[in-house]
Structure 1
């Protein structure tokens, strides 16, 4: 097909890349660890590990999985941790052993965790002790038989490790009581693994690397099958896209987004491929601590979502952060608001580089060139080896400037949904286009703009919330007769969840609803607004609630 967007590629960015340069993510890691052995790879809480140490520790963990835990190639291993040094060690260890990573949000409720572990068939999990009590409640109903627990400070220097773990557990009391017989500590697993011989595993592009869970219009989270080929392609695509602006082995990136989120995950893998140092921020919501980290770091790259950049701009002390060395500020996961983009450029001198993707595309497919001088509201152009088209409901291209569904093809596009062949078939056209569910336009030079979402998905600070899941939880409350969930604009998070309820019990209160939801849903899925109505909710002639009409009511109000 014609690719009008190529005229916008900056000098040095190729139209096509060699996706066969690496057979797997394991090979990408091995190359970086050999090339940048003595450089720092990751930094967290003031401590760093080099690429050599990352290589040794991940090899030890891989050997433990193989020889001590007895796991086999292709087994699924869940990771349930925030951004700590343990995360990349475990991640690369699982991949090196030829196993499949299942990323888990540590803040999941028991219901959400049980679904993901059962659906993925994960037989092992690495979990931060702070969240072990959640696992304890559901493990008997899942296939998990191997549990590795870790504490916040496990990979810090010895004195700081003891002090940090004691503070977290006994002073801040951040570890609820838990009991999981037969667990092994993360450092003990590394110790045992170092005494084993690691068996190298030959991986190809066809081998599964991640089951990355995403929602759906049915409200049931689906495992997106991302192969080593998908992930290698996206890593190399992003390397080609940002490479001309960065110097391998010389940059420091700040990563406040959780690595269990696919956007942060792939950016992290790209930075590792370039031999950069990544500063992991475990809790960016602690703005004073986050700002202190920024003040202490000579960083050249920062990655975030609109919500985070806005919070930083409003945070006390951010005016004192040295941004003179900043080269690249990457924004993804949700739409960037114009006022945030303008304020960021004014404060830093560097524009927010917005991109677009989805879990099913590993995730990046469209991005603004790094050479832009101002944010434009466009999501950019297709990156190398990627095709994009705006199609109508019949799968036919629409003329430039007209609205249709954004559709994608490329080597980063998923194999399909785990054990869901029908849903996989529904998301692809007959000629292989991935239907994104997002509506947009493309101009004559190939620039893409999002206009609306075809699905009812709500995006809260870059995280997807699907109305059916929220509505299912609302319906469980005995005082609820009817319920709907919609997204409404929110100044800080982009969108917020609004629940519209017809009560069965006239004494039902907003506090009752929120308490119920907090027990069943991760925090970002909990409704921010609760509205009670006496009249039945608007419905189609077959009884389906008209969310569109509810959104129009909210907009009018």
Structure 2
């Protein structure tokens, strides 16, 4: 991980090729485990073929969307690979997504099939209209029965340019929007990241994040590319987190700052012990140096790797440990085979150390947003040399060696508790609450919590309760204030500086 890798990542492979290649090389090696069991690569591949056959029998064809709202288990991994084999498109949504947003996702994705937990079938069916909704329990019995068949149906033709996954993420509109993720670009991103991180066949990757988030989704692909084992721990209790990392023999632990803080707090309660962990990989937000140092102390010999990215290209840059002392404030260098640099308002590249918008070019840049041409045109623009250039909306600069330095966003996007979100979507949920005329959200800062302000006839506690029914837990503000009138700038926008003063006054 010292020098830039020279082996190119592929652009012409399909998502399920990663699984098939791993199965051919290490059929009896462990591939994936969860709280209920463990599969080898041979078993995972067999289940994925059964999913393909099951989808075929259900009438799911090439390009059809299959929406799943399921916990991150072995079955979901098989559904990912089986849907890829069918040439269909997996649409994984977070189990915490409330009906308020899920209804918009169903309308936007227009799935041919929805798979959810058994207790959710009736509720989801009510909002899905004519779309078939299947519970995972009965569906998995049918899939398991198909796995025992001797003769497999012929696989559907799948091209590297076909869409494999739609990843719904927050954006500049109230409803979630989906990043289009074709097979070839996902495989390129996976292999390019793998070249930097160096996943190995003896690695055990402890994944705390849902597959509906691209951070969790790509762990499925990275472990297959590395012939490693994936431990799905999204449903594990916080109290047993440290014990499970040790029991599973984890060697790689993906983190966000809040998870790292929790691990450090648990480790501080007991004496230092030997550990197999060799690598922590951080994303979602900047990891404080004190937290990184605490991880190294609790897990002797482990390295902490900084990463920077967006779903729209998966990963922008990685800072290998060899450069962390020399470039402690950098978010890394672009992935092998890609470019990332700063441009001015006219899109012209800026020299080192000059601040501008960070743009990204390379085979990992996704083609756009699903059924959102205006948003696609703003973010995904033709690159002068061909291909696409992703305008990230992030500002920063590069140094003379091409390493990136992140300085902040220009719009209303922010990350909180490792989750990307926008003020717009929270404000839209607030104005959906009866009694609220208008709403404004103040993003969290180092000295203040995520807060929502509302005009209207509503109790602040009631507003937070109503928001908890509409938003995922991480997106629910910690503080609510009801005001007579929201402060605005001369241009009619929410005056967030005034909101911050209001919050400070109320807190005092």
Same fold (TM over 0.5): yes
Provide Cα deviations, 1:467-499, integer angstroms capped at 9, x if missing partner.
1121122123343333101211268xxx85310
RMSD of the TM alignment (CA)? 2.4
Change (3 A) 1:455 1:552: farther
8 A contact 2:246–2:275 mirrored in 1: no
Q: Which residue of 1 aligns with 2:93?
A: 104
Residue of structure 1 aligned with 2:135, choices 128, 149, 152: 149
Residue of structure 2 aligned with 1:467, choices 407, 419, 423: 423
Q: Which residue of 2 aligns with 1:263?
A: 215
TM-aligned CA deviation for residue 269 of structure 1: 0.4
Q: Which residue of 1 aligns with 2:108?
A: 119
Q: Which residue of 2 aligns with 1:61?
A: 51
Aligned to 2:178, the other structure's residue is in SS state: strand
Q: Which residue of 1 aligns with 2:473?
A: 523
TM-aligned CA deviation for residue 137 of structure 1: 3.6
Q: Does 1:40 align with 2:30?
A: yes
Which ranges of structure 1 fall in alignment gaps of 5 or more residues? 1-8, 152-183
Aligned to 1:379, the other structure's residue is in SS state: coil
Provide Cα deviations, 1:443-478, integer angstroms capped at 9, x if missing partner.
111121211111211212221221112112212334
TM-aligned CA deviation for residue 16 of structure 1: 5.9
Change (3 A) 1:318 1:240: farther
Q: Distance in 1 between matches of 2:181 and 2:269?
A: 37
Q: Distance in 1 between matches of 2:179 and 2:36?
A: 35
8 A contact 2:19–2:41 mirrored in 1: no
- Pairwise mapping of residues 464-543 of structure 1 onto structure 2 (< 5 A)? 464-489=420-445, 496-502=449-455, 504-505=456-457, 508-541=458-491, 543=492
Q: Does 1:408 align with 2:360?
A: yes
Provide Cα deviations, 1:518-554, integer angstroms capped at 9, x if missing partner.
121121111111133344422333x332346535766
Q: Which residue of 2 aligns with 1:545?
A: 494
Change (3 A) 1:14 1:204: same
Q: Which residue of 2 aligns with 1:157?
A: none
Q: Does 1:331 align with 2:282?
A: yes
Q: Distance in 2 between matches of 1:98 and 1:186?
A: 20
Q: Which residue of 2 aligns with 1:5?
A: none
Q: Distance in 1 between matches of 2:257 and 2:504?
A: 22
8 A contact 1:312–1:318 mirrored in 2: no
Q: Distance in 2 between matches of 1:271 and 1:279?
A: 10
Provide Cα deviations, 1:274-293, integer angstroms capped at 9, x if missing partner.
11111110324x21232331
TM-aligned CA deviation for residue 126 of structure 1: 2.1
Change (3 A) 1:535 1:420: closer
Q: Distance in 2 between matches of 1:340 and 1:106?
A: 29
Aligned to 1:527, the other structure's residue is in SS state: coil
8 A contact 2:341–2:404 mirrored in 1: no
TM-aligned CA deviation for residue 319 of structure 1: 3.7
Q: TM-score, normalised by structure 1?
A: 0.84
TM-aligned CA deviation for residue 416 of structure 1: 1.1
Q: TM-score, normalised by structure 2?
A: 0.92
Q: Which residue of 2 aligns with 1:19?
A: 10
Q: Distance in 2 between matches of 1:188 and 1:321?
A: 48
Residue of structure 2 aligned with 1:209, choices 139, 161, 164: 164
Q: Distance in 1 between matches of 2:67 and 2:359?
A: 31
Change (3 A) 1:522 1:40: same
Q: Distance in 2 between matches of 1:371 and 1:319?
A: 30
Q: Distance in 1 between matches of 2:335 and 2:321?
A: 12
Q: Which residue of 1 aligns with 2:2?
A: 10
Change (3 A) 1:321 1:360: farther
Provide Cα deviations, 1:65-120, integer angstroms capped at 9, x if missing partner.
11x21211111111211221111111111111111111111111112111112201
Aligned to 2:469, the other structure's residue is in SS state: helix
8 A contact 2:9–2:192 mirrored in 1: no
Q: Distance in 2 between matches of 1:99 and 1:453?
A: 35
Q: Distance in 1 between matches of 2:430 and 2:370?
A: 27
Provide Cα deviations, 1:243-276, integer angstroms capped at 9, x if missing partner.
2xx43x2111111111111122113201111111
- Pairwise mapping of residues 413-424 of structure 1 onto structure 2 (< 5 A)? 413-424=365-376
TM-aligned CA deviation for residue 15 of structure 1: 4.4
Q: Does 1:238 align with 2:193?
A: yes
Q: Distance in 2 between matches of 1:442 and 1:81?
A: 40
- Bigger drift between 198-207 and 116-125 goes to 198-207
Provide Cα deviations, 1:20-70, integer angstroms capped at 9, x if missing partner.
4x521121211111111001101112521000000111111111111x212
Change (3 A) 1:478 1:83: closer
Residue of structure 2 aligned with 1:80, choices 69, 89, 102: 69
